[in-house]
Chain A
Amino acid sequence: DVKVTQSSRYLVKRTGEKVFLECVQDMDHENMFWYRQDPGLGLRLIYFSYDVKMKEKGDIPEGYSVSREKKERFSLILESASTNQTSMYLCASSRPLNSPLHFGNGTRLTVT
């Protein structure tokens, strides 16, 4: 079974802090994604990556950056956390071409 592991289930950070969310997958998937999930809005794509050191903006990249130095690891960075970034963050990975997304169990981030 594919396993996507997110390093933290819950995080509480203060406004202005730099926040790192880590994600690791163990199935050698090329594609990795970061989404945020808010009530009533569905999942929204922040950033994705199709290969090591490659990144593409999703629908809501503002206030975020990412890093993919190794194939199995995809990090989401909040340079200066703000209260409107309080959300559930989901990492996912997949093979190319219409393969299903495999999600981690999410990180619930609260910014106070």
Chain B
Amino acid sequence: KNQVEQSPQSLIILEGKNCTLQCNYTVSPFSNLRWYKQDTGRGPVSLTIMTFSENTKSNGRYTATLDADTKQSSLHITASQLSDSASYICVVTGVTGGGNKLTFGTGTQLKVEL
């Protein structure tokens, strides 16, 4: 069964500190992995996409990594800001006979405090 597991479930950090969120998946065959940010009361917004051949990709203060061999991804946030407080959702796209299928993680709830 395709699964996406994220850790930690929640995290509190001080403004200016760095943090790393983890995503482990069992989706196979693998197509790509996306990280989404969901602010409270809003829909998720895509931060970055990782394909099989990519190890690292940055989007401003967000850096995603992918290890396709161990089926793990991480999202590193540098110099956190209050506006980084949100839920971060890992979504893995698998290839099926009927087309692509997305499997969603349950998210990591990040709170950045002063």
Q: How large is the interface on B (under 10, 10 to 19, 20 to 34, 35 or more residues)?
A: 20 to 34
Determine whether the beta carbon of A43 is less than 8 Å from that of B104: yes
A interface residues with partner B (beta carbon < 8 Å): 4, 40-45, 90, 92, 98, 100-101, 103-106
Per the bound structure, the CA–CA distance linking A44 and B4 in Å amounts to 13
CB distance from B39 to the nearest CB of A (A): 9
Which of A4, A40, A98 has its CB near the most chain B CB atoms (within 10 A)? A98
CB distance from A49 to the nearest CB of B (A): 13
Q: Does B89 contact A (CB under 8 A)?
A: yes
Hey, which chain B residues are within 8 Å of A98, CB to CB? Answer: 31-32, 49, 93, 100
- One of A4, A41, A42 near B43 (C-beta < 8 A): A4
Determine whether the beta carbon of A100 is less than 8 Å from that of B49: yes
